[in-house]
Amino acid sequence: MSYSNDHRVEVVVQESRNNQTPKVPSCVVCARRKVKCDRTHPCSSCARHEVECIYLPHNPPQRRKRRRSEGNHRRISLSRQSPTRKSNLASARISNVDHAPATHNDFPVAPRAEQGMLLTGEGQSIYLDSNLWSSVRGELPQAEDMLRDMSDHGSDQEVDNETSLILGGTVKKDLSVLHPSPLHIFKLWQTFLDNINPLTKILHGPTIQQQILKASDSLHTISTEFETLLFSIYCISLVSLREEDVQNTYGECKTTLLSRYRRAARSSFAKAGILRTSKIVVLQAFILYLLAIRESSDPHSVWSLCGLAVRMAQRIGLHRDGSELGLSPFETEMRRRLWRQLSILDVTTAQSSGITSQLSYLSADVRPPSNVNDSELDPRMTDTPRGHDGATEMIFVLARNEFGEWMRRWSKADGGAHRGRGFLTSSSLSLEKKDKAIDELNDLYQMKFLQYCDKTIPLHYMAARLMRAIVCQMRFTAHHPRQYGGTDRLSLPVRGHIFSTCLHIIESFEDCHSNELIQRFLWHVDNHIPWDALIYMLHELRTRIDEGETKRSWVLIDRVYSRHYEQMRNRPKSALHTAMHALILKAWKAHTEERARFKRSVLPYPHIISVLAENSERGTSSHRSGLTPGPEPGESAVGSPREQSTHGIPPDGTEVIDPSFELDQYNHSPLDWGQWDDLLDQFQQDFTNSELFTTDAS
């Protein structure tokens, strides 16, 4: 996708600053606006407009040979935003590497200046920063030829061997027959605008809508790159809809449509040459596709595919801020949004895989996105829009970004030995410092976002829930029983504090599922059960008999786990579920015995206890009669047959707890968190989507 109507091919070269004191010209902004610059730092004009003041080194003119061929008239130049044009390769140093910018002082900058060159044109870009390219830049061919040779080789070419390794080898030449009708295309786009775009903001709604309207009239003529975006939009939009809504609107079941469009998306990525492409629109589409498959695919596979997206982003140069590359304000803003969304996706999928992300995106020089609405952005704009202080369409995205910035700052508190939230588990920091850090995050959220939230607006309510859940989750991480080697080493007040924190986490999770106001955003939190908080609460409920938090806890556990139990009904049961069902039954039994010992009335019987107890009795009866329920094939969320079998699931779909499973091995006194970590990791690995790497779009 092109963010500008400028069809010239542009080259931006970054070079380290010379040791000699250069002549100081006008700053970049004043030169572009053609106004007088007072040549201070920052200059008065930049300070008044609250933009970064950048001075480029004044390089002497270089001699170059002129070609007599027609190609002589096609110049490799700087972007139209750059004020100097001295040669076919001009200099544009990353100024915030060498001195503090006028704004964004609290955001990370690159540790040193880097040499590099950005080739851009017609919606694609390639970033080169190795010494080899820098040393031969004077001998480079025309940038148009480089972009063509280093990027894709045409949509009609057969899939190369490398791409087929990931996406398969059979790709249909014409995918237009797999698109829905124009009416359904627009309905899916509207769903995207309502359900997906507010939480991602990697597409500019007004621009893409015009392109979709045009494309829907002639699907046979759309570019291969834009087709990847369309199929990805179909996928993520369907994921956000309920089964009955899909059936009523599109006349087919959700499973069938999802399977069709996911396969079509993979075929389109193969046709677009995903391993070679430098088109930003393909990367946008691929990130949306990863968001669409993460709920039905194991996190290890999704995280591996995130690595491919990261390489694409680095190839395009998204890890370098567009303002330092002379790009337009619009393209700079969209690149910032895309890089941050990819970074967050990589971190979260790595965490789900039990791995600390190695992507040091917070140490790059990409600044945070601006707090502006899409209506304030335009591909033709020449001035950077001024950010707002209150809530905008970006509130959810910026709240997540603020969390990342907070982790970056505090991860240095213990010498930078731990990335991300790892400092909260470090023994080198006291609990007082950890609580101080979490209090700081809470205050930042209150000052920047929460005070402006209107809880009647779905996006604001979702953002507020996110921020409060993050704060509670960080407190639980800092005070997790893992830090003490078990709950037996915790005092009663500390255990009570941790229990209350877990209760708030489960309440936030349940509210996201039950509150109709934010049902459109359920795709973002679905299937992400806060297992740690749930396990800790069940362990503590064995001995808690108060009427307040204890009663609320059993009600929440009943709702949360009953819903998850229904979602997992037709899936293979894992060791985690066997252990969880045993823990729930044992916790309820111990809790009722404790209440009886203190002559307290028994709480209302939770529905999930009835279901699990009945299935447990059925399993015991089958075991005594010599009948062992045989395996039945399971089916994944998208309807693909599973290779694993579901032991203990009778024909009516209810689960039977295997009586040979020793419940006492999960008698957690003290609570063995290492054992639960292993079960959680195994549970995540057991759900590899078998259709993840196939491209049969039939």
Domain extents in the chain: 25-55, 117-151, 159-379, 388-479, 486-617
- At 199-209, the pLDDT tens digits run 999 999 999 99
Q: Is the pLDDT at 313 greater than 70, yes or no?
A: yes
Q: Which of 344-348, 551-555, 584-588 has the lowest mean pLDDT?
A: 344-348
**What is the pLDDT, as a whole number, of residue 548?**
87
The residue that leads in pLDDT, 295 or 11, is 295
Q: Is 631 helix (H, G, I), strand (E, B) or coil?
A: coil
Residues 6 or more apart whose CB falls under 8 angstroms from that of 411 comprise 418, 419, 420, 422, 423
Closest listed residue to residue 389, CA positions, set 379, 398, 381:
398
**What is the pLDDT, as a whole number, of residue 358?**
62
Q: Is the pLDDT at 448 greater than 90, yes or no?
A: yes
**Sheet strand arrangement including 10-14:** 10-14, 116-121, 124-128
Mean pLDDT score, 373-387: 94
CA 224, 226, 227, 232 dihedral sign is positive
- Secondary structure letter of residue 568 according to DSSP: T
Angle between helices 673-685 and 575-597 (to 10 degrees): 140
Computed over every residue of the chain, the mean pLDDT equals 76
**What is the pLDDT, as a whole number, of residue 24?**
63
* Structure token digits, residue 236: 């993520």
Mean pLDDT score, 222-246: 96
Contact 368, 405 (CB under 8 A): yes
**What is the pLDDT, as a whole number, of residue 412?**
77
Residue 122: which region, alpha, beta or left (left: phi > 0; alpha: psi -120 to 50)?
A: left
**What is the pLDDT, as a whole number, of residue 129?**
63
- At 629-682, the pLDDT tens digits run 333 333 333 333 333 333 333 333 344 444 334 444 444 444 566 666 666 666
**What is the pLDDT, as a whole number, of residue 302?**
87
Rounded to whole angstroms, what are the CA distances from 466 to 178, 473, 504? Answer: 37, 10, 12
CB burial of residue 226 (10 Å; 0-12, 13-18, 19+)? buried
Mean pLDDT score, 319-335: 92
User: Considering the entire predicted model, what is its pTM?
Assistant: 0.73
- At 160-172, the pLDDT tens digits run 556 655 666 556 6
Mean pLDDT score, 572-585: 82
- At 130-146, the pLDDT tens digits run 544 445 455 555 545 55
Q: Is the pLDDT at 115 greater than 60, yes or no?
A: no
**What is the pLDDT, as a whole number, of residue 369?**
95
- At 214-227, the pLDDT tens digits run 999 889 899 999 99
Reported as a pLDDT band with limits 50, 70 and 90, residue 20 is very low
**What is the pLDDT, as a whole number, of residue 602?**
87
- Beta strands 116-121 and 632-635 are unpaired
**What is the pLDDT, as a whole number, of residue 438?**
96
Rounded to whole angstroms, what are the CA distances from 459 to 188, 200, 209, 233, 394? Answer: 19, 12, 21, 20, 9
**What is the pLDDT, as a whole number, of residue 579?**
86
Q: How does DSSP assign 2-34, residue by residue?
A: -SSS--S-EEEEE-PPPSS-------HHHHHHT
**What is the pLDDT, as a whole number, of residue 634?**
33
Mean pLDDT score, 385-393: 94
Q: Is the pLDDT at 237 greater than 90, yes or no?
A: yes
What is the Cα 672 distance to its own chain's centre?
Answer: 31
Q: Is the pLDDT at 596 greater than 70, yes or no?
A: yes
The residue that leads in pLDDT, 186 or 18, is 186
CATH topology of domain 25-55: CD2-Gal4 (4.10.240)
* Structure token digits, residue 464: 């507020």
Percent of the chain with pLDDT over 70: 64
Q: Which of 18-32, 235-249, 374-388, 480-494 has the lowest mean pLDDT?
A: 18-32
**What is the pLDDT, as a whole number, of residue 382?**
93
Contact 405, 393 (CB under 8 A): no
User: Within 13 Å of residue 439, how many CA atoms lie on the same side as its CB?
Assistant: 6
Q: Is the pLDDT at 1 greater than 50, yes or no?
A: no
